[in-house]
Amino acid sequence: MRVTVDYDLCDSTGVCNSFAPEVFELDDEDLLHVRVPEPGAELWPAVEEAARACPKLAILLPGDRP
Ligand code: SF4
């Protein structure tokens, strides 16, 4: 399953990084990168928590709008 970030919405606050640092990271310029676009099942609970916690609702998971 693929995780996608809508960069038009994302403001790189890094909330997602605090929930799933294996998947989301901020680079040296504080821009968000998805390190693991297709995380394994063991990471999905954290990814789903990150998506729910994202203040911009910028994290798109399978079944979300395109
Ligand atoms: S929590 Fe949402 S807005 Fe903040 S960096 Fe992550 S994807 Fe972007």
pLDDT tens digits for range 12-51: 999 999 999 999 999 999 999 999 999 999 999 999 999 9
State the pLDDT at residue 63. 79
Beta strands in 1-66 (DSSP E): 4-5, 24-26, 32-34, 59-60
What CATH number does the domain containing 27 carry?
A: 3.30.70.20
Instruction: Indicate the number of domains in the chain.
Output: 1
Ligand 1 centroid–CA 51 distance in Å is 8
> What's the 44 CA to ligand 1 centre distance in angstroms?
16
> Collapsing DSSP states into helix, strand and coil, what is residue 59?
strand
Pairing of strands 32-34, 24-26: antiparallel
Atom number, ligand 1, closest to the C-alpha of residue 59: 7
Q: Give me ligand 1 centre to Cα 50, in Å.
A: 8
- 65 in any annotated domain: no
| Distance of alpha carbon 2 from alpha carbon 39, whole angstroms | 7
* Residue ranges making up the domain that contains 37: 4-60
Rounded Cα–Cα distance for residues 24 and 14 (Å):
8
- Find the residues whose C-beta lies inside 6 A of ligand 1: 5, 10-16, 24, 32, 54-56, 58-59
